[in-house]
């Protein structure tokens, strides 16, 4: 190709052939979306996207999200072609063990991938969170002449993303919050896995998004002029997010299969790949990109220039606004203020000294009141349960009322709220939290899982944690949710029993890296527990001896949350009856299991096989700690509708029943 000018079609075709070749070699994957959206990607990435392939984490880059993550070869092709550390060998190793090109894009595995996508609609939701974070952070830090936070969020989405209910939750809120720097490209190709979608998806998509408050543009997704004009129009709109409806042909370039579901989720086959090469006029072997085409894609030079210009702006900002600049850098790095640990430790000590009886949801609100004044990066909200969850702390300001605020009214959108929270965390500059009843974690479950998969630093506040919440009945009484959370990799779960344990749990949540933290909190008031200084310090270990016997124990009782008090009373009575009983409070099983073996043995000696666990969650979870010889006072059924105290008694969460179960181990 020496001496010839590279055309847009040739650049787009490079995406098409890389995608179909990688899928064909793996004998697995989705070639249709990358081939259909190649022209859109070519215009966006070459003419508009601000990024630096040599520094994928440059903070002021534009964010690009492939929400229809099954089309992952699209983003892998783009990252390779533009100069990211993703060599052609990785593309040829698509979907293979330990490659950097997994079946769906995974955050942290492939440089340049901003979020893990695959469960449809969640990438779109993450994009809303990123755009929200950009707008809020810009309001907090930008000053006249210094737009140090200034970038767009671009999302590719397919029919499946818009069919998923989460798209309604997040796009409705995005319109309400006027996220003008969010631009979504809808791959309107009329095809999903089952075929032509006109049998199951006939929504007026334009009307739907206009009703949300979005700007909606319609274009031919294979016309570079229309694509560029639409992006410019979208970027010029500052008050509304934009949906660009791109009419495309799925599998574009595959002459016998394009426009059909045959290109969606299966390799094209050797004959169709060869036919596509001929149709596209691509006379090169698999995974061979001519140097001229590859060079025309290279974004390393302009990316480095863009970052250098931003750094110059940041230097000027530091000179004129040193305090703000220092704070911005700290927050971007994800570091806590230097005095935070001292402040929170003093607060924990004061909570222990107070002797206050509170529901742990109220204790959490008390913690937030302090944390909000110490951590300006704290941002969060509740799914229409602010008062019940204690999620809106004193002094917080809704971003819907003040752009530089720190509180989000999410409305009744548990799934969308959690996925948006993930997007805020992925963007950086904030420590996001979100709150709802524990039972409604079920609505958000897949977003919770994605936070764990991506190891994102989020805080999930779950209140009304048991049958103790009472009259609302089993529809609102969580039973299996605690076990569900605890068994999810990279999730840390805390179920505190009083104010002091709640404060320790919040400290752990703020300082933790490597995944989200769930704080599981009671509706009902819980009494204060007396502790020595050593016991107070040991709360952070997740499990500790709260009440001990003289000499070696012959029986160990383990409890969490609201069940600690009745278990303490039971332990005291067992001791009065001459049984060497020990009470272990276990606010966080995962934190306890992370301790060294000597500490765990000192709390739960292996020789003591008579053990009873007490918790208003599913009983089977505790078998791993009580063993085959132990017993669990827990739930094996759903709850019922009645006042909380009556339910606790009816289901056996009483002092007498705990004693009876414990004594039965002697029989």
Q: What is the pLDDT of residues 534-550, one digit of tens each?
A: 999 999 999 999 999 99
Q: What is the pLDDT of residues 62-77, one digit of tens each?
A: 999 999 999 999 999 9
Q: What is the pLDDT of residues 34-51, one digit of tens each?
A: 999 999 999 999 999 999
Residue 659: per-residue pLDDT: 98
Q: What is the pLDDT of residues 122-150, one digit of tens each?
A: 999 999 999 999 999 999 999 999 999 99
Distance in angstroms between the alpha carbons of the first and the last residue of the chain: 87
Region 398-415: what's the mean pLDDT?
98
Q: Is the pLDDT of residue 4 over 80?
A: no
Q: Is the pLDDT of residue 602 over 90?
A: yes
Report the distance separating Cα 408 and Cα 10, nearest Å: 45
Give the whole-number percent of the chain exceeding pLDDT 90: 99
DSSP-assigned letters across all residues of 587-611: S-HHHHHTS-HHHHHHHS-TT---E
Residue 666: per-residue pLDDT: 79
* Inter-helix orientation angle 563-576/655-664, to 10°: 60
List 164, 414, 563, 615, catalytic entry:
414
554 is catalytic: no
C-alpha 321 chain-centroid distance: 33
| SS3 of residue 512 by DSSP | coil
Q: What is the pLDDT of residues 197-244, one digit of tens each?
A: 999 999 999 999 999 999 999 999 999 999 999 999 999 999 999 999
Q: What is the pLDDT of residues 332-390, one digit of tens each?
A: 999 999 999 999 999 999 999 999 999 999 999 999 999 999 999 999 999 999 999 99
Spatial neighbors of 323 by CB under 8 A, at least 6 apart, are none
Residue 1: per-residue pLDDT: 56
Q: Is the pLDDT of residue 630 over 70?
A: yes
Region 491-506: what's the mean pLDDT?
98
Q: Work out the mean pLDDT of the chain and round it to a whole number.
A: 97
Q: What is the pLDDT of residues 154-209, one digit of tens each?
A: 999 999 999 999 999 999 999 999 999 999 999 999 999 999 999 999 999 999 99
Report the distance separating Cα 324 and Cα 207, nearest Å: 42
Buried b (16+ CB within 10 A) or exposed e, 385-394: bbeebbbbbe
Report the distance separating Cα 341 and Cα 511, nearest Å: 9
Q: What is the pLDDT of residues 432-471, one digit of tens each?
A: 999 999 999 999 999 999 999 999 999 999 999 999 999 9
Tokens coding 390: 């204690």
Rg (CA), the chain: 28
* pLDDT band, residue 667 (cuts 50/70/90): low
Residue 356: per-residue pLDDT: 93
Report the distance separating Cα 348 and Cα 154, nearest Å: 43
The candidate with the shortest Cα–Cα distance to 463, out of 476, 474, 475, is: 476
Residue 54: per-residue pLDDT: 98
Handedness of CA 268, 271, 274, 278 (dihedral sign): negative
Enumerate the β-bridge partners of residue 64. 154
């Amino acid at each position: 190709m020496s001496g010839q000018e590279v055309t847009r079609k040739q650049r787009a075709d490079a995406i098409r052939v890389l995608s179909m070749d990688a899928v064909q070699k793996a004998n697995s994957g989705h070639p249709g979306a990358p081939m259909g959206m190649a022209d859109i990607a070519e215009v966006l990435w070459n003419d508009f996207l601000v990024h630096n392939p040599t520094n994928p984490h440059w903070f002021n880059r534009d964010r690009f999200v492939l929400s229809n993550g099954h089309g992952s070869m699209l983003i892998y092709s783009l990252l390779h072609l533009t100069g990211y550390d993703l060599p052609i060998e990785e593309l040829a190793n698509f979907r293979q063990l330990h490659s950097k090109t997994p079946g769906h894009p995974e955050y942290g595995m492939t440089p340049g991938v901003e979020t893990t996508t695959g469960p449809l609609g969640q990438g779109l939701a993450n994009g809303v969170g990123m755009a929200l974070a950009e707008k809020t952070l810009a309001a907090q830090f930008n000053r006249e002449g210094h737009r140090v936070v200034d970038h767009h969020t671009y999302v590719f989405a397919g029919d499946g993303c818009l069919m998923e209910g989460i798209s309604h939750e997040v796009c409705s809120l995005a319109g309400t919050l006027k996220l003008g720097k969010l631009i979504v490209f809808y791959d309107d190709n009329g095809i999903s896995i089952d075929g032509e979608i006109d049998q199951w998806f006939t929504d007026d998509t334009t009307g739907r998004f206009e009703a949300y408050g979005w700007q909606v543009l319609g274009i031919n997704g294979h016309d570079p002029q229309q694509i560029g004009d639409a992006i410019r129009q979208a970027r010029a709109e500052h008050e509304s997010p934009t949906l660009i409806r791109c009419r495309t042909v799925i599998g574009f370039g595959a002459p016998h299969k394009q426009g059909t579901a045959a290109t969606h989720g299966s390799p094209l086959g050797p004959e169709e790949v060869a036919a596509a090469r001929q149709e596209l006029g691509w006379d090169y072997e698999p995974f061979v990109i001519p140097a001229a085409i590859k060079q025309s894609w290279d974004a390393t030079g302009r990316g480095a220039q863009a970052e250098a210009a931003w750094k110059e702006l940041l230097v000027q900002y530091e000179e004129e606004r040193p305090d703000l600049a220092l704070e911005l850098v700290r927050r971007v790095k994800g570091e806590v203020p230097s005095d935070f640990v001292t402040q929170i430790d003093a607060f924990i000590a004061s909570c222990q000294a107070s002797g206050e009886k509170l529901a742990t949801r109220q204790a959490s609100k008390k913690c937030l009141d302090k944390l909000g004044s110490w951590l300006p990066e704290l941002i969060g909200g509740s799914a229409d349960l602010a008062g019940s969850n204690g999620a809106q702390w004193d002094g917080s300001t809704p971003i819907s009322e003040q752009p530089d605020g720190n509180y989000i009214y999410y409305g009744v959108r548990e799934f969308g709220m959690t996925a948006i929270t993930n997007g805020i965390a992925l963007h950086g500059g904030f420590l996001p939290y979100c709150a709802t009843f524990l039972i409604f974690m079920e609505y958000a479950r897949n977003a919770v899982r994605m936070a764990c998969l991506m190891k994102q630093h989020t805080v999930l506040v779950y209140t009304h944690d048991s049958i103790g919440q009472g009259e609302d009945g089993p529809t609102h009484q969580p039973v299996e949710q605690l076990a569900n959370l605890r068994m999810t990799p990279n999730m840390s779960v805390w179920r505190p029993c009083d104010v002091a344990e709640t404060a320790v749990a919040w400290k752990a949540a703020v300082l933790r890296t490597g995944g989200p933290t769930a704080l599981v909190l009671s509706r009902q008031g819980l009494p204060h527990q007396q502790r020595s200084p050593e016991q107070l310090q040991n709360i952070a270990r997740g499990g500790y001896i709260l009440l001990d016997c003289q000499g070696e124990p012959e029986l160990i009782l383990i409890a969490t949350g609201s069940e600690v008090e009745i278990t303490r009373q039971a332990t005291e009575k067992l001791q009065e009856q001459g049984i060497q009983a020990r009470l272990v409070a276990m606010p966080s099983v995962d934190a306890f299991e992370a301790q060294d073996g000597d500490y765990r043995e000192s709390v739960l000696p292996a020789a003591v096989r008579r053990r009873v666990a007490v918790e208003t969650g599913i009983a089977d979870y505790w078998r791993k700690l009580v063993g085959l010889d132990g017993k669990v006072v827990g739930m094996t059924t759903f709850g019922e509708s009645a006042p909380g105290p009556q339910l606790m008694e009816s289901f056996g969460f009483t002092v007498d029943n705990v004693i009876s179960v414990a004594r039965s181990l002697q029989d």
